[in-house]
Homo-oligomer: A and B are copies of this chain.
Amino acid sequence: MRILGVDPGLTRCGLGVIDQNGPRAVSLVDVAVVRSSSTEEPHRRLALIADGIEAMIAKHRPDVVAVERVFAEANVRSIISTAQVAGVAMLAAARADLPLALHSPSEVKAAVTGDGRADKAAVTLMVTRILRLDKAPRPADAADALALAITHAWRAGPLSLPSAARAQHGGAGMLPADNAPGMTAAQRAWAKAERESKMTGAADPRRRTS
Contact = CB atoms under 8 A, between A and B. Distances in A.
A76 B50 CA distance: 26
A100 B100 CA distance: 28
B93 A91 contact: no
A43 interface: yes
A88 interface: yes
A9 to B, nearest CB: 12
Contacts of A99: 41
Interface string A83-101: 1111110110111000110
A87 B79 CA distance: 12
A91 B42 contact: no
A72 interface: yes
Nearest to A44: B94
Interface in A151-193: none
A162 B102 CA distance: 53
A67 to B, nearest CB: 8
Contacts of A118: none
A70 interface: yes
13 contacts: A41-B100, A43-B90, A43-B91, A46-B91, A46-B94, A50-B95, A72-B77, A72-B79, A79-B83, A83-B87, A86-B87, A88-B88, A91-B91
